[in-house]
Amino acid sequence: MKNIRRQTLKYFWSHAKNFKLLFAGILVSFGIGVVINDILAPLLYKNIIDQISNFTGDRTLLLGSLLKTLFYIVGIFLFGEVIAWRMGGFLLIRLATKAMKRIFDDCFSKLQQHSFEFFANNFTGSLVSKAKRLVHAYDRIEDIILFDFFTNFIRLVASITLLFFFAPIFSFILIFWTLLYVWGNWAFALWKMKFDRHAASMETRTTAELADAITNSITIKMFARFAFECQKFFRATKAKLLADVKTWDFGEIANIFIGLSMIIVEFLMMFFAIKLWTEGTISAGTIILIQMVMIAILRNLWNFSRIIKDFYKSLADSEEMIEILYTSPEIKDLDHPEKCKISAGKIEFQNISFLYEGQTEVFNNFNLRIKPSEKIGIVGESGGGKSTFTKLLLRFSDVTKGKICIDGQDIRSLRQEDLREKISYVPQDPILFHRSLRENIRYGRLDATDAEIYAAARMANAHEFILNTPKKYETLVGERGVKLSGGERQRIAIARALLKNAPILILDEATSSLDSKSEKLIQEALEHLMKRRTVIVIAHRLSTIQKLDKIIVLENGEIIESGSHNELLKQKGKYAELWSHQAGGFLE
């Protein structure tokens, strides 16, 4: 992406600008705090030193004036620290937390808008890491801009103006050195950013490797690949280590030059201050004033080198997620979608063509009509187009040519959310949320009552096993539902689909890989689920589809056979061949 840094800052500002009053309050508070602490206080200290150095009478007579000035100093410090800086801090807390919430919410929303293929091509752990780094980067950049860039700017302008009234040479030295110092740091940070970007990508890779290994921990144990995975992860952490060492080493080298430049400017300022004092041009108090101002500036500008590095490192940390946020979703809704009128469930594939990833042809001028409430099975060997068929119907991918209509409406003219509300989908391996059984079933219809949830669970043959769990319907199922067996997850998915009560039902290998008892329970549940709906069953186990109205056989994206179970057996074609291979294992 071009101008990625500009896009990142623009993105951050798009969220922060909603809180302009908070911004204004922070700038005023911090500005007052800087002027009081770094300008007014040194002036009062100058006044004390000048009174002491110039007084020649009885020193006790000076005590009252000095104490009065000292109380002024305490008063302005209290106002600056306790009121101005703390007020700015409280305002900043509210600005930061509100803006970070907006950014996190935006990451969640925009990630969810991406297609099925996007998530298939990206590690879950990697996406989580990128989103978290973006939010943390905003927090750091906001602090840098307000606490450092702004306050240092106010401090420098005020200090240069102040010193100009006592001896202009100090202002000119400070201006020249500051410009050179800031330019050098900025140029170095820009050059170093490529190393920061590489370090960020190594961190993403390490997080992704860790998440992938944790997700597949059972597979690692089953295949005794602990040592292999350790070595793989160790290689990733070593690459991260080398990237971090390189970027940190460059930072330390920069600190050497920064330290030298500060020694030089400190020497020059004090040299001219002493020279002017010996000439009687400035007072001893002015030397103290210059020293206090320089200490404040050098202390903050020493950090400025780190601040610049942190600023660009934060931008580098943000880039991966910003690129995702500015990437348009692969499947987009129309600006003015039609109102969804799907009710009967009549489905038509009209001369559709589809290229997988724009290259591999899956369908070419494919046609299919499914009547309302008709129940069809789709079979065929792997790679024949069965999975792509369901993805296109659910708009996980869009057709390359032609159109898919449901009840006369082109599904691309509808909001994806509206379309999918009308389709229930039960996959081969349902993935549940790490939430309670009640919440997982209610996901089918969020406004469902408990009575409706129990009724759906009974029809799905899930109620009995739920009552045997430790907390019944409040039992947590674990990440992806790992605490449940395959048959139990399947029945929860069916209960969820029953509760959704959509006019179209897709069963994708819904009973494969189950034991006989679980399959029998699920088959009974499916009979309830399939009533009065248009049903599409994707199946390898042909015994599960022999009673359907129609069975179609897909091969290389084409329908090579179509008919009822008995009709297809009589044709002695591909279906009959597949059936004969399973003859020993089907239910009569």
Contact 493, 429 (CB under 8 A): no
Q: Which amino acid is at 558?
A: E
Q: What is the arithmetic mean of pLDDT over 439-460?
A: 87
More confident: 129 or 538: 538
Alpha helices in 167-215 (DSSP H): 168-215
582 pLDDT higher than 70: no
Contact 275, 230 (CB under 8 A): no
Q: Which amino acid is at 146?
A: L
Alpha helices in 422-480 (DSSP H): 437-442, 450-459, 463-467
Stretch among 176-185, 227-236, 246-255, 478-487 having the lowest mean pLDDT: 246-255
514 pLDDT higher than 60: no
The domain limits of the chain are: 10-325, 347-581
512 pLDDT higher than 60: no
Tens digits of per-residue pLDDT, 262-316? 788 778 878 877 887 887 777 777 788 777 777 777 777 776 767 877 887 788 7
- Mean pLDDT of the residues in the chain: 80
Reference 209, options 187, 238, 249, 186; nearest CA is 238
32 pLDDT higher than 80: yes
* Structure confidence at residue 282 (pLDDT): 75
Range from 105-109, 252-256, 341-345, 380-384 that averages highest in pLDDT: 341-345
Tens digits of per-residue pLDDT, 321-368? 887 777 777 788 888 888 988 888 899 999 988 887 667 778 888 898
CATH, range 347-581 = 3.40.50.300
Fold held by 10-325: ABC transporter transmembrane region fold (1.20.1560)
Reference 3, options 287, 258, 326, 289; nearest CA is 326
521 pLDDT higher than 80: no
530 pLDDT higher than 60: yes
* Structure confidence at residue 405 (pLDDT): 92
Q: Residues of the chain with pLDDT > 90: what percent?
A: 2
Stretch among 390-399, 536-545, 561-570 having the lowest mean pLDDT: 536-545
* Structure confidence at residue 13 (pLDDT): 86
* Structure confidence at residue 387 (pLDDT): 82
Q: What is the arithmetic mean of pLDDT over 199-216?
A: 76
d(CA 155, CA 163): 12
Give the CA distances from residue 7 to residues 16, 97, 187, 283, in Å, rounded to whole numbers and listed in that order: 14, 22, 20, 51
Q: What is the arithmetic mean of pLDDT over 95-105?
A: 85
Give Cα 91 distance to the centre of its chain: 26
Six token digits for residue 227: 């040592």
What beta strand segments (E) does 253-408 contain?
Answer: 347-356, 360-370, 375-379, 401-406
More confident: 543 or 349: 349
Stretch among 133-137, 222-226, 337-341 having the lowest mean pLDDT: 222-226
d(CA 208, CA 7): 25
Whole-prediction pTM? 0.65
587 pLDDT higher than 50: no
Position 583 confidence tier, pLDDT thresholds 50, 70, 90: low
* Structure confidence at residue 222 (pLDDT): 64
Contact 381, 367 (CB under 8 A): no
Q: What is the arithmetic mean of pLDDT over 114-134?
A: 72
215 pLDDT higher than 80: no
d(CA 322, CA 134): 8
184 pLDDT higher than 80: no
* Structure confidence at residue 125 (pLDDT): 66
Q: What is the arithmetic mean of pLDDT over 548-566?
A: 85
Q: What is the arithmetic mean of pLDDT over 210-238?
A: 76
